[in-house]
Amino acid sequence: MAKADLDKLVATFPEAIVATHSHCGDETAVVLPSHLSEIMRWLKESGGFDLLVDLTAVDYLGRDPRFEVVYHLRSMQTGNRLRIKVQIGEIEGGPPPEVDSVVSIWPAANWMEREVWDLYGIRFAGHPDLRRVLLYEEFVGHPLRKDYPKERRQPLVRRENLLP
Amino acid sequence: MAETYTSRLEEAISWARKYSLFTYPFATACCAMEFMATMAPKYDIARFGAEFPRFSPRQADLLFIVGTIVEKQAPVLLRIWEQMAEPKYVIAFGVCASTGGFYQNYSTVPGADQIVPVDVYIPGCPPRPEQVLDGLMLLQKKIQEGTTWVQQRDRREREKGIEPPRPRPRRLPVIS
């Protein structure tokens, strides 16, 4: 089970683990953003987690730190799963929040990080081509942020006088 | 006397047009499955003279908007409508094409009629083939009566003395 992997991770990086959670074979570790690259590389190379299943983000508006980037890992040899979370805050009026990119570790992260940038506005340092992937370039803002107004529309085309 | 001849001629032309619709299916979502069922032998849209899907807008005169239209796709839809042969008609197939349906968010166009003039709206999520055929027959009725958007626009322009050919459609910026 992945509990052994989680214990090994905590033993190897005791100073970088913020919190862990373990329930019914569902293992999670919250790590410091400053150690993310190092931990991810270790998990891929020594932990055997060779598959990045998913990479997404959550906006906890009103909490500090506000954002959480979530990585779902899987080992194809043992079938174990591990979830890594990293919490990042934002500076009011400052640059967008930023975490290290994992594209150099798992190439599959490329489009997933672009999607997180597109919809949540979290930048990934070291990403080779961080552009919007789903929305159009003219779009302003990041619509899955909880403070994006539900009713705001940013149309590319509208026609007038279409009624007969 | 001349007026009588013109109206009789127009009636005959409308009759021919309503039974030889060449459809362009702009199918973007799950409604396309119902569209396929409508085209297939069981419901057989061929009975109404609209069995021929053309996958080039230049050879089609009936635009079926089948499914959700997102903002990113709206310029493509407008360009396809502008490329179609005149006189052209538009059917919004399903609630997403008609009003945006249950998608009320940043990405979805609230109804294809924000982009192109729609003649017939077919509700349903998705509509049953019977509803689609009903909508097609309604469009045929409108064509015969001359009450579709394009026919009304043509009549207005004739009254003002504007004759075809019209100015070419403006070029849209290419979105990469």
The answer, for B157 touching chain A at a CB cutoff of 8 Å, is no
Please report the residues numbered 49 through 78 in chain B whose beta carbons come closer than 8 angstroms to any beta carbon of chain A. Answer: 71-72, 74-75, 78
DSSP per residue over B6-18, as a string? HHHHHHHHHHHHH
- For residue B175, name the pLDDT band (cuts at 50, 70, 90): low
Cross-chain residue pair B115–A158, CB shorter than 8 Å: yes
Mean pLDDT of B130-141: 93
Q: What is the pLDDT of residue A22?
A: 87
What would the pLDDT profile of B136-161 be if each residue is shown by its tens digit?
A: 999 999 999 888 998 888 888 888 87
Q: What is the pLDDT of residue B157?
A: 82
Residue entry with tokens 């796709």: B73
The answer, for A95 touching chain B at a CB cutoff of 8 Å, is no
Q: Report the C-alpha gap between B116 and B81 in whole angstroms.
A: 7
Cβ partners under 8 Å of residue B151, min gap 6:
B87, B143
pLDDT for B26 beyond 70: yes
Cross-chain residue pair B114–A158, CB shorter than 8 Å: yes
For chain A, strand residue ranges (E) read: 17-23, 26-31, 51-59, 67-74, 81-88, 98-100, 123-125
Looking at CA atoms only, how far is residue A22 from chain B in angstroms? 36
pTM of the model: 0.83
Using the Cα atoms of residue A134, residue A137, residue A143 and residue A149 in order, give the sign of their dihedral: negative
Cross-chain residue pair A155–B114, CB shorter than 8 Å: yes
- Which one of A135, A150, A163 has the shortest CB-CB distance to B72? A135
Q: Which domains does chain A have, with CATH numbers?
A: 2-97 (3.30.460.80)
Cross-chain residue pair A155–B71, CB shorter than 8 Å: yes
pLDDT for B6 beyond 90: no
The answer, for A131 touching chain B at a CB cutoff of 8 Å, is no
- The C-alpha R_g of chain B, in whole angstroms, comes to 17
In this structure, what are the phi and psi dihedrals at residue A30, rounded to the nearest 5 degrees? -100, 125
What would the pLDDT profile of A130-142 be if each residue is shown by its tens digit?
A: 999 999 988 988 9
Cross-chain residue pair B78–A159, CB shorter than 8 Å: yes
Cross-chain residue pair B109–A155, CB shorter than 8 Å: yes
Task: Kindly state the helix (H) or strand (E) to which residue B80 belongs, with its residue range.
Answer: helix B74-83
Task: At B20, list the tokens.
Answer: 């030889």
What would the pLDDT profile of A52-98 be if each residue is shown by its tens digit?
A: 999 999 999 988 889 999 999 999 998 889 999 999 988 877 788 99
What would the pLDDT profile of A11-34 be if each residue is shown by its tens digit?
A: 888 888 988 888 887 899 999 999
Task: At B152, list the tokens.
Answer: 């009304």
What would the pLDDT profile of A80-90 be if each residue is shown by its tens digit?
A: 899 999 999 88
Cross-chain residue pair B71–A152, CB shorter than 8 Å: no
The answer, for B155 touching chain A at a CB cutoff of 8 Å, is no
Give the mean pLDDT of chain B.
86
Which letter, b or e, does each residue of A59-89 get, where b requires 16 or more Cβ atoms within 10 Å of its Cβ? beeeeeebbbbbbbbbbeeeebbbbbbbbbe
What would the pLDDT profile of B43-69 be if each residue is shown by its tens digit?
A: 988 898 887 888 888 889 999 999 999
Q: Which of B71, B102, B147, B172 best tests the A interface by mutation, with the highest count of A CBs <10 A?
A: B71
